[in-house]
């Protein structure tokens, strides 16, 4: 066992498999005391959180299992209370739990929209908000939220997922600003990884689909864990409000929206509809972003 996260109490949501499982195991390997949260079950009907917890303990780590549904406020509260009741404090939450409900926009149902926003965004608000008073009293804490390039850049058939993941970026930045005075930091990671959730939602109907499969198959979920653990370590105490991405052996720091062009309408009438059409649109057009998807921007093979 290493000591980078020695004695820190860490909640990892969605830790019953995929990216979350590897984050939980790495956090424990680094000396953290981990609550493995997941509502999923394996084929035999057993909670995956319990099997991951057992694996951590057998490897010499400290862990507890949680099957709390964090999309529900009261259940999320029980998860936070579990950390404090058992270990007396809470140092970090890695909001990794998420779902895919892909559907082309004009066919998407209200239920598919609502469920995605509930699990991918509100659940992260629940855990973060419930931990905030604890972090404030301790004068310290760390949050890491899993966003997606589907929101940061775009993808087909993921309006609900993209909106929830982009909303998570706004939530993280607001937490970072509001909680800065209490030494609480909040960051996002957009992970590229072949996980059961991705495999279930990734079609294989066209050559373009097959290309995405070949890329994702090369990106293992364990590559996300080191960055997540580094961000909640003491070495990450001055890093907040940032957006990172991990793709194979590459780590990226994402830009954030800032003005790139301005137009001053120097007419007596000020800004008019006609002036926008005749002057602003032509001025801005060379700087406008094309309708690209994540795979268009990350067009090279993972390393």
Q: Which residues are catalytic?
A: 161
SS3 222: helix
User: Angle at Cα 13 formed by Cα 236 and Cα 192, nearest 5°?
Assistant: 70
Judge whether 30 and 3 are in contact, CB under 8 Å.
Answer: yes
Residues in the chain: 303
SS3 124: helix
CA–CA separation, 166 and 151 (whole Å): 5
What is 148-174 written as a DSSP string? Answer: -HHHHT--TTBHHHHHHHHHHHHHHHH
Judge whether 24 and 52 are in contact, CB under 8 Å.
Answer: yes
Encoded tokens for 176: 């970072």
CA–CA separation, 277 and 280 (whole Å): 6
């Amino acid at each position: 066992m290493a000591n980078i996260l020695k004695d820190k109490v860490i909640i990892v949501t969605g830790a019953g498999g995929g990216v979350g499982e590897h984050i939980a195991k790495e956090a424990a390997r680094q000396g953290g005391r981990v609550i493995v949260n997941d509502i999923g079950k394996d084929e035999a009907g057993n909670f995956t959180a319990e099997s991951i917890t057992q694996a951590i303990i057998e490897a010499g780590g400290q862990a507890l299992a949680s099957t709390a549904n964090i999309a529900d406020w009261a259940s999320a509260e029980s998860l936070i209370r579990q950390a404090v009741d058992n270990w007396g404090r809470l140092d970090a939450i890695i909001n990794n739990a998420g779902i895919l409900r892909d559907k082309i926009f004009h066919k998407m149902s209200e239920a598919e929209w609502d469920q995605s926003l509930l699990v991918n965004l509100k659940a992260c608000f629940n855990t973060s908000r419930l931990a905030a008073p604890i972090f404030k009293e301790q004068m310290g804490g760390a949050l890491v939220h899993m966003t997606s390039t589907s929101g940061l850049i775009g993808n087909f058939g993921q309006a609900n997922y993209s909106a929830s993941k982009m909303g998570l970026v706004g939530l993280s930045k607001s937490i970072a600003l509001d909680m800065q005075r209490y030494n609480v930091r909040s960051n996002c990671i957009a992970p590229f990884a072949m996980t059961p959730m991705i495999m279930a939602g990734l079609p294989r109907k066209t050559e373009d689909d097959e290309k995405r499969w070949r890329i994702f198959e090369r990106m293992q979920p364990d590559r996300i864990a080191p960055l997540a653990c580094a961000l909640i370590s003491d070495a990450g105490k001055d890093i907040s409000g940032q957006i990172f991405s991990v793709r194979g052996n590459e780590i990226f720091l994402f830009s954030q929206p800032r003005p790139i062009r301005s137009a001053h309408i120097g007419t007596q009438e000020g800004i008019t509809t006609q002036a926008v059409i005749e002057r602003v649109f032509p001025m801005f057009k060379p700087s406008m972003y094309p309708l690209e998807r994540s795979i268009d921007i990350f067009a090279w093979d993972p390393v």
